[in-house]
Chains A and B, each alone.
Chain A
Amino acid sequence: MKKWYFIAVLTLVAAVVLSGCGAKSSNNNAGGEAGNGGEDVTYMFATDAAYAPMEYMDKDVISGFDIEFLDLVMEEAGLKHEVKHTGWDGMLEGVKQANEFQAGISSISITDDRKQTYDYSMPYFESINVIMVKEGSDIKSALDLKGKKVAVQSGTTADILMTGIMGEGNTDLKKMDSNAVALLELDQGGADAVVADIAIVRDYIKNNPDKKYVEVSDTTNFTPEYYGILYPKGSDLKAKLDPAIKTVIENGKYAELYKKWFGEEPNTANLLNAK
């Protein structure tokens, strides 16, 4: 009786694992066909539209810097596309299986761990993490955060950087579901600092002047990072879009869009030189 149970459970787990993999191998073909199909193919992009101002839902329309940037690139490449809000997990799995989606765009930082599973476009956006603390705090650099309670959005590079500094498994590093909740954690005294993308921290400080928060930047421990478009391994879309991304950055359209969203000039030289 007991053995019978155990075998049933194993079979169930194996079935789930295999169905995941099986779906992947058969669907790669579909992705390939879409790639070879010529002009009237509509490329499907997945996004997690919950990261304003990069990508977010404006009522029921997906909006944001990434989305408008993608419009420019696809126009430059002469390809049709659509963007669908799938959530983060849906995007990851959807792009990996490559049957419904051929790519994902969602402020996805390029890291080596992630490259093991996905391909990336050339970098299209430079960002850096900064620390947000209360005015008069003794935190002056990222290393001062050791032994303090720090809130980050789980899965962001802020999470990865702070895990590196504070140690894997350290529960003083609070990996929250979103930046909004991380900021709330700081407001309610559960954290001494929030680490997040510079755009998000500046936006929050600007919109909440009464809370007396300040931005602490640490360019030694936090190095610039780059966002890329996410492709399944071996996608031929990279070869089509990288030249278009380069053109859009070089011909000034990128700078124009950047100024529209962030009110300042981008450092495009950094972007083009980044690996």
Chain B
Amino acid sequence: MDFRFDIIWDYAPLLLKGTLYTIGISLSSILLGSILGLGVSFGKMSSRWFLRWPMQSYVNFFRGTPLLVQIYIVHFGLIPLLYGKTNAIIAAITALSLNAAAYTAEIYRAGIQSIDKGQMEAAKSLGMTHGQAMRFIILPQAIRRMIPAFGNEFIVLVKDSSLVALITAPEIMYWSNAMKAQYIRVWEPYLAAAFIYFILTYTLNKILGAVERKV
């Protein structure tokens, strides 16, 4: 069979290192993106226009442009502007977090708005403030509904993180590309990468399933 396991074996240590980077970059971006997204979603739902409009534009921009373009803009524009020079890993986490924030913002909003208005009215009629009603009545119910959508977003993010290979963040796809370059063979690097990504997302899926049952 014309499939060279020896070159995959050759690159296995690098692919393993790349996997750790992929996990690190994805986890940081999921975390930062979710926190940022919460702020964006409250801004977007705000009754004050000067909060609502910028956040609305933010979501429109990040959902309306390709992630790859955002990665390049952050890597060659934003990070050199703030940091003085490029840095692939910082740029990768920044771009993925900013992108995830736009999507998670919509998940928060959808979750919160899916709770019947009567719940808020009932909470207020019991004498709760708006904040208390949110914390004790609305959010606990909304979060349950958000979990599947979050799971989906997380899995998409792990897979999309492969794009940061193009700005040389040394993750799975980066080393897979290096393997391809050295031997100019296509199948081995791509199938090796596909296999690792599958294991990652499959594991994530299992964890999310467990969380869903617990909550």
Contact = CB atoms under 8 A, between A and B. Distances in A.
Contact of B177 (A93, A154, A181, A184): A154
The prevalent SS among residues of B at the interface is helix
B177 A175 contact: yes
Interface residues of B, number: 31
Contact of A114 (B85, B168, B183): B183
B182 A113 contact: yes
Interface string A3-29: 000000100010011001100100000
B184 A117 contact: yes
A21 B1 contact: yes
B139 interface: no
B185 A21 contact: no
B71 to A, nearest CB: 11
B28 interface: no
Interface in B182-206: 182-187, 191, 195, 198
A263 interface: no
Contacts of B156: none
Nearest to A169: B14
A116 B84 CA distance: 44
B3 interface: yes
Contacts of A24: 2
B123 to A, nearest CB: 42
Classify chain A: how many residues form its interface, as a range: 35 or more
25 contacts: A17-B3, A20-B3, A20-B187, A21-B1, A92-B185, A93-B187, A96-B186, A114-B183, A117-B183, A118-B184, A151-B168, A154-B178, A155-B177, A155-B180, A155-B184, A163-B178, A168-B14, A175-B178, A176-B167, A181-B166, A184-B76, A188-B76, A188-B80, A188-B86, A190-B80
Interface of B: 1-3, 13-14, 17, 76, 80, 84-88, 166-168, 170, 174, 177-178, 180-187, 191, 195, 198
